[in-house]
Amino acid sequence: MKTALITGVTGQDGSYLAELLLEKGYTVHGIKRRSSSFNTQRIDHLYIDQHERHVNFKLHYGDLTDSTNLIRIIQEVQPDEIYNLGAMSHVKVSFDSPEYVANVDGIGTLRVLEAVRILGLEKKTRIYQASTSELYGGLAENKNEKGFYDENSPFYPRSPYGVAKIYGFWITKNYREAYDMYACNGILFNHESPRRGETFVTRKITMATAAIALGKQDCLYLGNLDSQRDWGHAKDYVEAMWRILQQDVAEDYVIATGVTTYIRDFVRMSFAEVGLTLRFEGEAENEVGIVDSINEQVFTAATGLAVHEGLLGKTIVKVDPAYYRPTEVDLLIGDPTKSKTQLGWEPKYDLAALCKEMVASDVAIFKKDNRI
């Protein structure tokens, strides 16, 4: 039986990965930061399983800014695999907290690698480093001949988050080459789910869709609607993480769908799930989304309600320049050729299925919790 250690286990990816590894018979240890409020909702069900089904799951208090703490935990756990998923991962917020994101996302990666080296676990422990498509910066001239970003595309990060992650990428590669460690980077493009943080754009959109349809919110405010992203499902992407650490040779991989979508079109898809067809008018910060038609049958099936008065013709999407980034990444699309051919990885979800699942989940959450 293998033992895995996951930093950032309480996050979207960490929770799905913990489930996957437990299903495969691993003993799973997770690291979470101490907080005065509960922040374990994504993994609370594993506690229940721990008591009812004797699942091998254990949490440790720790922080990627605390070297001695990481050394102690890794020494105690003696993991076969480490998945370093912990990070401050909100791109917009990284402009407000650049020093913090550098410490956690950049130097935090070094602390994990150095802990393994200090403890003499170089030959035992395999390390997965969660890298990101934000390394590329969206520059058109850096794409390959097919118009995608792959493992050989040059990096040009456009945010403190991307810059911190590029340090994490290169220090992982450096330790692999300098100390013959099994350490890999997974360059993951955007991946979403019903467990996505509520401030990330896809989840913000699906939550607003649910709230507006249920009459609990009037309008959704967004930033650059012309941005394009390569979106997949986090469930698919954590399987790729696991596959990366099962290879004979440590290498770096791009994990992506190879399909890109405008934020504006994801908004359309999301509201279509509750029977609302939108039309967009205006440009830039004056662009708005208006309810153009309503499929009452779909609306009632999705919400359990009759269409409320005044919804048809209502402006429910607006642009707020406050959400613009100082340096915007307009287009990200990944080339998953290597991950498909070498890892045998194929995503099971397309964007339509992902969007449908997220909207249905948020409608259920709002109805259960009576939010807003």
Long-range contacts of 361-364 (CB under 8 A, 24+ apart): 361/194, 361/206, 362/194, 362/203, 362/206, 362/207, 362/209, 362/210, 362/211, 363/210, 363/213, 363/214, 363/274, 363/302, 363/303
Whole-prediction pTM value? 0.92
Are 172 and 135 in contact, with CB atoms under 8 Å apart?
Answer: no
Give residue 38's pLDDT: 63
Which are the contacts of 251, defined by CB distance < 8 A and separation ≥ 6? 184, 244, 342
Same domain as 77, residue 18: yes
Lowest mean pLDDT across 84-88, 91-95, 125-129, 287-291: 91-95
> 89 and 144 in one domain?
yes
H helices of 28-125, in order, are: 44-52, 67-77, 91-94, 98-101, 108-118
Catalytic annotation on 134?
yes
Please write the tens of the pLDDT for every residue from 292-351: 999 999 999 999 999 988 999 999 999 999 888 787 677 889 999 999 999 999 999 999
Active-site residue, 26 included? no
| pLDDT, tens digit (0-9, with 9 covering 90-100), for 150-196 | 999 999 999 999 999 999 999 999 999 999 999 999 999 999 999 99
pLDDT at position 54 over 70: no
**Active-site entry in 26, 128, 161, 175:** 161
For residue 344, being part of any structural domain is answered with no
Catalytic-role residue among 132, 172, 202, 209: 132
Number of domains making up the chain: 2
Q: Is 10 helix (H, G, I), strand (E, B) or coil?
A: coil
Question: What are the tokens at 61?
Answer: 């208090």
Residue 34 reports pLDDT greater than 80: no
User: Residue 269 above 80 pLDDT?
Assistant: yes
Q: Which residue, 130, 132, 25, is CA-closest to 80?
A: 25
Condensed to tens digits (0 to 9), the pLDDT of residues 64-96 reads 999 999 999 999 999 999 999 999 988 888 999
Could you tell me if 138 and 214 lie in one domain? no
Does 248 fall in a domain?
Answer: no
- Whether the per-residue pLDDT at 48 is higher than 80: the answer is no
Chain position carrying tokens 């810059």: 163
User: Which residue in the list 19, 81, 134, 273 is annotated as catalytic?
Assistant: 134
Domain that holds residue 218: 201-224+264-328+358-369
Would you state the torsion angle of the CA atoms of residues 339, 341, 343, 346, taken in this order, to the nearest 10 degrees?
70
Please determine, for residue 53, whether its predicted confidence score (pLDDT) is greater than 60.
no
Residues 311, 209: Cα–Cα separation, whole Å? 13
- For residue 56, the one-letter residue type is N
pLDDT for the residue numbered 37: 57
